Structure 1
C-alpha cells in the first residue's frame, strides 16, 4: 500500500509518525497470529519470570531491527519493561508528548539514551524511568535483559525487564510524557492480539506489529518498536 501524500488524515487522529500524511492506524491488517498459543497465566507469575531469566532454555528473538531511514549516528539506549505486580500482572506504558523530535505521540516504554555516567543498561533504564514518570528505583526489581533492538532512527535499545510494586507512586514529566497507563500482560502475551501490517514506502516494504488495546473507550495503539519488543518477550516466555 503506497503512501499517498495528498490524502488528509482524519481530524481526530493525532499523528503517530513523522512521515507526512501517514498514520499506522490506517494501514490495513495483513494478518493476526491467533494460530499461535498464548502464554499460560501461570507462566506470567513473577517467580516464573525470574526463573525464566535464570534459565538457559534456548530461544530466538523474532525481530532484531527496523529498516533504516536516517543517516544519524547510532546511539545506545535502554527502556524499562515494567511489569506491575498486581493479582494479575500488568505492563506500565507511556504515551509520549507530541512535540518530541523522535517517536512523538507514540506508545512507549519509559526509557531513553544512555548517558556517559550510566553504569550499565539497567542504570539507564531506571534513571530514565525516574526522570520521565517519577518511578523510584527502590520500587523496582530488575530481573533481566532482552536482546537489543535497533530502530529505524538508529537507536540500539536494550529492553530491561523489571517487576514493580503495585503501590509505586508516579509523577509524570509533562515535557516528555503525556500519559501513563497499564495493559494486562496476559493481553500482550496472546498472539491473537498481535496484528501484522505492511506498507510500501519509497519502494521499500516495511512491516510491523501492532497490539491495539482499548479500555474505558480509549484505544492505545501499541506499534513499532514497542510492539516488536513485546513480541520478542512473547517468544522468550513461550519458548
Structure 2
C-alpha cells in the first residue's frame, strides 16, 4: 500500500493549497528598455469593464486549463490585451506568488517587451497604457494604509462542533494597502503590492 502511495506522488509538484479558491490569475510585469533606461508598462483598464473599470493594472488574467502553465496565462493575456505577438515577450523569471485574503492567488512573471512600437492595445479591455521609469519606484516608497481582516462566520456556522462555541476567538489580521503616485496616476492595491515586492527583490540583487 505504501508503495502505491509513493508512486502516486512521484511527480507531485507542491503549490499553495487552493481549496475553495476559485480565482487563480497570472500577470506580467512588462519591462522595456528605452534610451538605455528601464521602464515598467502599466495599463489603464477600459471604463466599460464590469470588474475594476478605469483601474491601473499589469497585463494578465485568469488561469485556464488550456494554458497548461501559469506562465502561459501571463503570455496569452498580455498578447490579447496589448495586441502583440508572443515572440515580442521574453520571460525573465517568475516572481513571488501573491495570496490575497479574498479567494485570489496571483502568479506574477517578470518579462521584457522587446518592441514597444508593435503594441496595439485591445480597446475592449484597455483604455490606454503608460510607462514609468523603474528608478522612480527604486527611489520612492509607496504610502501604506492598514485595513483589518476578520472572520465573520455564516449564520449556519456549526459553533457546537468547536471549542468554546460562539465564544471561540478566531484569528484576525491586518492587510496593508499601498499607493504610488506618479504624475496623474495612482498605482495602488494588488498591483502596487506585486510591484513593491518586485522592486524590493531587485534592489537586493543590484
Query: How far is 1:185 from its partner?
Result: 0.8
In the alignment, is the contact (CA less than 8 A) between 1:141 and 1:164 conserved in 2?
yes
User: TM-score, normalising length from structure 1?
Assistant: 0.62
In the alignment, is the contact (CA less than 8 A) between 1:79 and 1:157 conserved in 2?
yes
In the alignment, is the contact (CA less than 8 A) between 1:187 and 1:193 conserved in 2?
no
| Higher helix proportion (structure 1 or 2) | 2
Query: How far is 1:221 from its partner?
Result: 0.5
2:191: which partner in 1?
226
Q: What CA distance in whole angstroms lies between the structure 1 residues aligned with 2:125 and 2:110?
A: 21
Query: How far is 1:201 from its partner?
Result: 9.1
3-state SS in 1 of match to 2:65:
coil
Q: Does 1:213 align with 2:161?
A: no
Root-mean-square deviation over aligned CA pairs: 2.2
Q: Does 1:141 align with 2:110?
A: no
Any stretches of 5+ residues in structure 1 without a counterpart?
Answer: 1-71
Residues 88, 201 of structure 1: alpha-carbon distance in 2 compared, 3 angstrom cutoff: same
| Higher strand proportion (structure 1 or 2) | 2
1:237: which partner in 2?
202
How do residues 1-239 of structure 1 correspond to structure 2 at under 5 angstroms? 73-86=21-34, 87-190=36-139, 192-198=140-146, 206-214=175-183, 219-239=184-204
> Which is higher, the Rg of structure 1 or of structure 2?
2
Residues 237, 133 of structure 1: alpha-carbon distance in 2 compared, 3 angstrom cutoff: same
Q: What CA distance in whole angstroms lies between the structure 2 residues aligned with 1:153 and 1:204?
A: 13
**1:128-166 deviation per Cα after TM superposition (whole angstroms, max 9, x unaligned):** 011111122111110101121123542211111011214
In the alignment, is the contact (CA less than 8 A) between 1:135 and 1:168 conserved in 2?
no
Q: What CA distance in whole angstroms lies between the structure 2 residues aligned with 1:101 and 1:73?
A: 21
Any stretches of 5+ residues in structure 2 without a counterpart?
Answer: 1-19, 151-171
User: TM-score, normalising length from structure 2?
Assistant: 0.71
Q: What CA distance in whole angstroms lies between the structure 2 residues aligned with 1:139 and 1:222?
A: 25
Displaced runs of 4 or more, over 4 A: 199-206
Residues 200, 151 of structure 1: alpha-carbon distance in 2 compared, 3 angstrom cutoff: closer
Q: Which has the higher contact order (CA 8 A, sep 6+)?
A: 1
In the alignment, is the contact (CA less than 8 A) between 1:139 and 1:168 conserved in 2?
no
